[in-house]
Structure 1
Amino acid sequence: MKPWRYGWPMRMNFHRLAYEEIEVCNALTLETFRAFLEQASPKPGGRALEIGAGNAALAICLARDFGMEVEAVEVDMAVAALAQSRINAAGVEAQVTLSRMRSLTLLDDLPPQDLILCVGATDPVGEEHRHPNDAFRELAARLAPGGLLVWGDLYWTETPPEPLARVMALTNACTPLADWTTAAGTAGLEVLDIHIADDPTWDTYVSIMDAAARDWIAAHPDRIERPHIEATADRVRSFLTFSRPYTGFALQLMRKPAA
């Protein structure tokens, strides 16, 4: 996957800039993710799918640290180019296959998975299955017996103002954390552990993304993408700042019962 098309440089965007600088594309560290998953003893050589690869940090971790064969999907062209470059640099391209497509397209073609990783992905199984009840049911059906599901997303810590709830609903099915656990049980999944991001991790995540965009904007005043990147950076910073008193970020580790 090359960062060039038709002889012209690929257009830059906010998420490509942000994901180049942050370790993991959410309020999460690689060390935390590795320890969180390790307790479940993922199957070496097993099949794994990551929905929303971002900068590929987690896909690389699955391949390098857990010996898994990984299929990863990422729809954003610029972000996918970054992910592929990271996969190549890590020397795991034989274990990690990256596709630029929506996850449902790939899910329909894959055999049952030993692990599905879905952390911060938008509509991982389609808009019609956005709520955790529906998403967990759909993803559980794609797991092999004994397979693992790692789900990470925003959740409500307090009842949000109506305008914030409406904005969030455009891209996320944000619910109280307890609803996630209930949804897992409804889908027949056993919840093994839950990790909640602490304030320093959250603050670092937001500040690094914002700084990456601001530094690029200052260094590229004449680039055609500049107004869009600046507008996106302003919107993301405003949204995350306003929503912070009402939201948290959590990982939920689940297992499908063995046959």
Structure 2
Amino acid sequence: MDFLDLVTLSQGSMAIMNPVTPEKIRAVGEAAGLKPGMRVLEVGAGNGTVLAVLAEAFGITGIGLEIRPEACARAERMLAEKGLSDQVRIICTDASTYIPETQYDLIVCLGAAFIYGGLADALSILTTFTAQEGAVLLGERYWKTELVPPEFARDWEDILTEYELVRIAGEAGFDLAFLVRADDADWERYETGIWRCCRAWLKANPDHPEYGEVAEYLHQVQDEYLGYGREYAGWGMYLFERTL
């Protein structure tokens, strides 16, 4: 199954496709000093919930970049229902090829740095989209310890420690200004949400030619989370501002 189709199947019905809550998103928006009229760009906007939360809480205007048509349509419906269509616009496109027409006060990239090839490249590119006094908000997995079992770490080569995250950002000219981590409840809600979405699809599609692949994916993510993820992997939102 295509990767993007698997993302839609396993997470498409989630309001927020990361282990985070609206309360924590608002906390980061406050730390970033968001005010009415400020411009926010979200890379990998998913179902549009993060931009909606920021628009309602701070009166920002925003653009969300999302490659999956199903997610774009869902986001546009949600924004219309909330009366936010004049504040937030969804562009259905490959974010890696998007060239902005203006600079933004905040760039949001939650779990989507892979679009640019990883954290370092994402920061390098997103920096060019950011106004001089602007900031970049990254959502990333991280290793809680350097003592990760090798058989697990090999499957997660793109995960860094928080020290490495901050060091890479520093080399790109950014300081860490604020962070919010996912707690156990955030992780459980996110991971079990994936399990429920996969199981619902499997029940509804017992004769689908890709049934076995989806079942294998479900068991794989369960094994990873229960066997290693809870103990060794974390997730956080990191607000980076230009070095003073």
With normalisation by structure 2, the TM-score equals 0.85
Task: Quote the offset at 1:225 in angstroms.
Answer: 5.8
User: In the alignment, does 2:219 pair up with 1:246?
Assistant: no
User: In the alignment, does 2:146 pair up with 1:154?
Assistant: no
- Work out the percentage of aligned pairs sharing the same amino acid: 27
The answer to whether the 8 Å contact 1:112/1:142 transfers is yes
Which residue of the partner structure matches residue 136 of structure 1? 123
Which residue, out of 55, 58, 68, partners 1:66? 58
Aligned residue runs from structure 1 range 79-94, under 5 A: 79-94=71-86
| SS, match of residue 108 in structure 2 | strand
With normalisation by structure 1, the TM-score equals 0.81
Q: Which amino acid aligns with 2:70?
A: A
| SS, match of residue 115 in structure 1 | strand
Whole-Å Cα distance in 2 between the matches of residues 90 and 100 of structure 1? 20
Give 4+ residue runs of structure 1 displaced > 4 Å after superposition: 222-228
Which residue, out of 191, 207, 228, partners 1:206? 191
Whole-Å Cα distance in 1 between the matches of residues 91 and 151 of structure 2? 35
**Gapped regions of structure 2 (runs ≥ 5):** none
The answer to whether the 8 Å contact 1:14/1:213 transfers is no
Aligned residue runs from structure 1 range 1-259, under 5 A: 13-106=5-98, 108-124=99-115, 126-127=116-117, 130=118, 132-159=119-146, 160-169=148-157, 173-222=158-207, 226-244=211-229, 245-256=231-242
The answer to whether the 8 Å contact 2:11/2:193 transfers is no
Bigger mean CA deviation after superposition, 146-155 or 177-186: 177-186
Whole-Å Cα distance in 1 between the matches of residues 32 and 100 of structure 2? 26
The answer to whether the 8 Å contact 1:13/1:229 transfers is no
Q: Which amino acid aligns with 1:192?
A: A
Per the alignment, do residues 87 and 243 of structure 1 end up closer, same or farther by CA in structure 2, a change over 3 Å counting?
Answer: farther
**Gapped regions of structure 1 (runs ≥ 5):** 1-11
Task: Quote the offset at 1:13 in angstroms.
Answer: 4.4
Whole-Å Cα distance in 2 between the matches of residues 77 and 91 of structure 1? 21
Whole-Å Cα distance in 1 between the matches of residues 220 and 73 of structure 2? 24
